[in-house]
């Protein structure tokens, strides 16, 4: 059942259809269980709404004021003033630190490069001075050690 048929069925139930269409729907309802079920459901809803006395409901304020409150609530976020960002995280605050940081960082770099290197290079330079040269040297840069193996016989 498409949307137009649903609307027509609602109109039939409300007695709003012309005679020809009303008879057509009555014929269809006799043979269409889905349509009949829908009509029953619509009737139930209508009955429930008929038994509901909306006049008993009283708003605490006038209708106009009630809706104006809703309208204001919708518009409030759009017109609300922007909350200032936390002071520490504002770009302006970071920018204030940026200038001295950059200047002093450059100064530190220049000083570091111009000063004599106080830390020795971490690469060991080996100088061997043997009485006789019967020795083998092995260097392992990964494990950071140097081995000097003396090839003398055991009795030495």
Partner 1 sequence: MNFRRIRPHFVTSTIWIAVLTLTCFPCPAPAEELKLEAQLIWGTNEPKSPNPDHKPVEQKVAQKLKDLPFKWSHYFEVTRKTFTVRKNDSRQVTLSEECEIHVRQLEDDQVELTLFGKGKRVGRITQKLPKSEMLVLGGNAPNYTAWFVVLRRKD
Site of interaction with partner 1 (CB under 8 A)? 96-97, 100-101, 104-105, 107-108, 111-112, 115, 120-131, 135, 138, 140, 143-156
**Least CB distance to partner 1 at residue 89 (A):** 15
Q: Which is nearer to partner 1, 45 or 101 (by Cβ)?
A: 101
| Backbone phi and psi for residue 148, each to the nearest 5 degrees, phi listed first | -115, 115
Q: Indicate the burial class of 12 (C-beta count within 10 angstroms; 0-12, 13-18, 19 or more).
A: buried
**Least CB distance to partner 1 at residue 118 (A):** 8
**Least CB distance to partner 1 at residue 116 (A):** 11
**Least CB distance to partner 1 at residue 111 (A):** 5
Single out the residue of 150, 155, 154 nearest to residue 135, CA to CA: 150
Q: Indicate the burial class of 42 (C-beta count within 10 angstroms; 0-12, 13-18, 19 or more).
A: middle
Q: Which is nearer to partner 1, 63 or 87 (by Cβ)?
A: 87
């Amino acid at each position: 059942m498409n949307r137009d048929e649903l609307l027509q069925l609602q109109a039939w139930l409300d007695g709003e259809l012309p005679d020809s269409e009303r008879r057509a729907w009555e014929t269809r309802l006799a043979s269409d269980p889905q349509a009949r079920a829908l009509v029953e459901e619509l009737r139930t809803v209508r009955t429930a709404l008929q038994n509901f006395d909306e006049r008993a409901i009283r708003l605490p304020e006038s209708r106009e004021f009630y809706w104006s409150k809703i309208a204001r609530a919708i518009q409030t976020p759009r017109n609300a003033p922007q909350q200032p960002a936390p002071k520490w995280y504002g770009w302006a605050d970071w920018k204030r630190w940026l200038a001295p940081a950059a200047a002093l960082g450059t100064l530190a770099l220049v000083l570091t490069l111009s000063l004599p290197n106080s830390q020795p290079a971490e690469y060991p330079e080996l100088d061997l001075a043997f009485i006789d040269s019967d020795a083998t040297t092995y260097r392992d840069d990964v494990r950071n050690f140097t081995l000097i193996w003396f090839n003398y016989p055991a009795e030495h």
